[in-house]
Chains A and B, each alone.
Chain A
């Protein structure tokens, strides 16, 4: 077997054993999206926003947001265990091992978070289906669904691990996560349509990676005739298409990976 695959497999296996032995982390990760779903649905049930959403219900509207939120928070927290490893000296064990690439640590963590996210998202989708939300996108839509979750997971896992390689203590990373997570979620179309946002916020919302992940999911959830050229978002500056959103997400992943490679070379080589 390829050496790099072996090391990624070993590193990921460790996290899967952790998840199996500590299922509370997986289960707790489900609570927050459900709280968003239940609370936001209740709060905005009679608001004018109801008229602006493209779904049958506000619950349906925010389901893609809750799914992206699940992937996003799981990925953003991905660096925390690495900082615990650093604090306990375990990271030295990884760094003294003859890994073919230190990037294997990122691949393995990302893969583990992606699989855990899929399990969590499956539960969310099943529950929202029971509550009347339907997936209209067909098999290709499922492909986009998986691709978007993978892209958002890898993007924020890489970002989080990059921070973990630079910082020394887990509480520093947790502070940064707290600072950036809520603004990123609320400056996106996860919980409210862009028409609902004030003008000054529209630009930030339309370039926010969370929006770029939520909008393709929303399209495949509620449009049976979606396509790569489907316009997902109309802003005064540009129209965001399905291919555009996915392309930018891929681009952001490449840029973050290059930045992480630089950090690894500087900090961990």
Chain B
């Protein structure tokens, strides 16, 4: 059993919102969609939650094509939207009951599960309060509880922890991890690299509707290099200083100039040297070339680097 998405396409008038999105997602795994605003993440999620019809492409579960069966796709999916779209008049319990009705779950048989989810998400004491009196974090937790009520096969989360405090964020992460451990598949759109690193088994970076880099987080990081070096010769490197530094480091074996970032030059180092050796080499190279060293930062690549340089065509 897996979710197979192939060649999804969507165009809004002159804008190509999504072009050729394909992936496969197995139970117990999480896919993260990364990309800047307007990259196509929301369009992808709206298609997967049947809120928008694709112009082309296929969505299949367990080999069954669901293109013409949106109701079957809706049965599979639990969805937590980016907006805190809750009914402020209902209490948490009433909201869960309402959700149960929409999912055709008899309340008597599912009340215990609803209350358990409310409890797991730390909302027991507030369960009879109106949702309108909830904080943003409490609303997000309740939204997740509602999305999990029918034990969906696929959980789709659109920036599920935006604006939450650390405790609420970790609570939600734990529940998502539990969902994965129980065999659920997760699709996550997020701008939070820590969240993606923590939850995702597979990362797909979208840019202007097209798929950029994709792969496992570790594989993507390794593909970028062993070390990422950020070098600046001055506090504020102007274009001339950046060009000078670029010229010096472009010729170094084992080093690749990724791009110039604001005020510094970024390099990927793919040789096996340790951090000290890399530091020593960069420092010596700069000094030999007459470049002052204002700052030198060396670290293993992280997902933010993958994202940042993927958007610049480096990965």
A interacts with B: yes
Report if A98 contacts B (CB, 8 A): yes
Q: Does B63 contact A (CB under 8 A)?
A: no
Nearest chain-A residue to B73 (Cβ)?
Answer: A98
B77 proximity list for chain A (CB < 8 A): 96
Q: Which residues of B are found within 8 Å of A24, using beta-carbon distances?
A: none
Contact partners of A95 in chain B: CB under 8 A: 50-51
B70: which A residues are within 8 A, CB to CB?
Answer: 269
Query: Is B101 touching A92 in the complex (CB atoms < 8 A)?
Result: no
Q: Is the CB of A99 within 8 A of B102?
A: yes
- Whether A127 sits at the interface, judged by CB under 8 Å, is no
A14 within 8 A of B: yes
CA distance A10 to B105 in the complex (A): 11
Chain A binder among B82-90, B241-249, B267-275, B295-303: B82-90
- Residue pair A93, B81 in contact (C-beta under 8 Å): yes
User: B103 at the A/B interface (Cβ < 8 Å)?
Assistant: yes
Chain A: interface residue count, which band? Answer: 20 to 34
Asked if A100 is at the interface (CB within 8 A of a chain B CB), the reply is: yes
What is the minimal beta-carbon distance from B96 to any residue of chain A, in angstroms? 11
Chain A residues whose CB sits within 8 angstroms of the CB of B97 once the complex forms: 10, 13
B229 to chain A, nearest CB (A): 44
Bound Cα distance from A14 to B86, whole angstroms? 12
Are A92 and B85 CB-contacts (below 8 A) given A13-B97, A269-B70? yes
Q: Are A98 and B74 in contact (CB under 8 A)?
A: yes
Say yes or no for B79: interface residue by CB 8 A criterion. Answer: yes
> Does A13 lie within 8 Å of B103, measured CB to CB?
no
B255 to chain A, nearest CB (A): 48
Q: Which residues of A contact B50 (CB under 8 A)?
A: 95-96
Instruction: Report the number of A-B residue pairs with Cβ-Cβ less than 8 Å.
Output: 75
Q: Name the contact of A18 in the complex, choosing from B49, B89, B101, B103 (C-beta under 8 A).
A: B89
Q: A6-B104, A93-B81, A96-B79 are in contact. Are A13 and B98 (CB under 8 A)?
A: yes
B191 proximal to A (CB < 8 A): no
B276 at the interface (CB under 8 A from A): no
Judge whether A7 and B89 touch: CB under 8 Å. no
| CB contact between A94 and one of B53, B75, B86, B102 (< 8 Å): that residue | B102
Residue pair A100, B51 in contact (C-beta under 8 Å): no
Bound-complex Cα distance A96 to B90 (A): 20
Instruction: Name the B residues within 8 Å of A22 (CB-CB).
Output: 89
**A21 / chain B contacts, CB cutoff of 8 Å:** 89, 130
**A97 part of interface (Cβ distance < 8 Å):** yes
Instruction: Give CA–CA (A10, B95) in the complex, Å.
Output: 10
How far is the CB of B93 from the nearest CB of chain A, in Å? 11
A137 to B81, CA, bound (A): 53
Beyond A21-B89, A89-B83, A96-B74, whether A7 also contacts B101 by CB under 8 A is yes
Contact call A93/B85, Cβ cutoff below 8 A: yes
B98→A14 contact, CB < 8 A = yes
On chain A, the residues within 8 Å of B99 by CB distance are 10, 97
Verify if A180 is at the interface (C-beta below 8 Å from B). Answer: no
- Answer whether A97 and B74 are a contact pair too, CB < 8 Å, given A89-B85, A92-B85: yes
Q: Is B164 an interface residue (CB 8 A)?
A: no
With both chains docked as a complex, state the minimum distance between the C-beta of A69 and any C-beta of chain B, in angstroms: 27
Is B100 an interface residue when CB atoms closer than 8 A count as contact? yes
Q: Which residues of A contact B75 (CB under 8 A)?
A: 98
Interface membership of B71, Cβ < 8 A? yes
Q: Which chain A residues border B53 with CB–CB below 8 Å?
A: 269
- Determine if A88 and B102 form an interchain contact, defined as CB atoms under 8 angstroms apart: no
Report B-chain residues with C-beta under 8 Å of the C-beta of A92: 49, 51, 81, 83, 85
Residue contact A10 to B98, C-beta cutoff 8 Å? yes
User: A90 touching B85 by the CB < 8 A rule?
Assistant: yes
Contact mask for chain A residues 60-74; partner B; CB cutoff 8 A; 1 contact, 0 none? 000000000000000
Residues of B within 8 A of A17 (CB): 89-90, 94
Nearest residue in A to B146 (C-beta to C-beta)? Answer: A93
CA gap between A95 and B50 in the complex, in Å: 8
Q: Do residues A9 and B101 form an inter-chain contact, with CB atoms below 8 A? A: yes
Cβ–Cβ contact B101 & A6, under 8 A? yes
A3 within 8 A of B: yes
Beta-carbon contact of A98 and B98 below 8 Å: no
Of residues 195 through 226 on chain A, the ones whose CB sits less than 8 Å from some CB of chain B are none
CB distance from A18 to the nearest CB of B (A): 5
Q: Which 8 A-B pairs have the closest CB atoms?
A: A10-B101, A89-B85, A89-B83, A98-B74, A97-B102, A3-B104, A90-B85, A96-B49
Could you name 5 residue pairs across A and B whose Cβ atoms are closer than 8 Å?
A: A1-B106, A7-B102, A11-B98, A14-B98, A97-B99
Extra contacts besides A7-B104, A97-B102, A98-B103 (14): CB < 8 Å? A3-B104, A7-B101, A10-B97, A11-B101, A11-B102, A13-B94, A17-B89, A17-B94, A22-B89, A90-B86, A93-B81, A96-B77, A99-B71, A100-B104
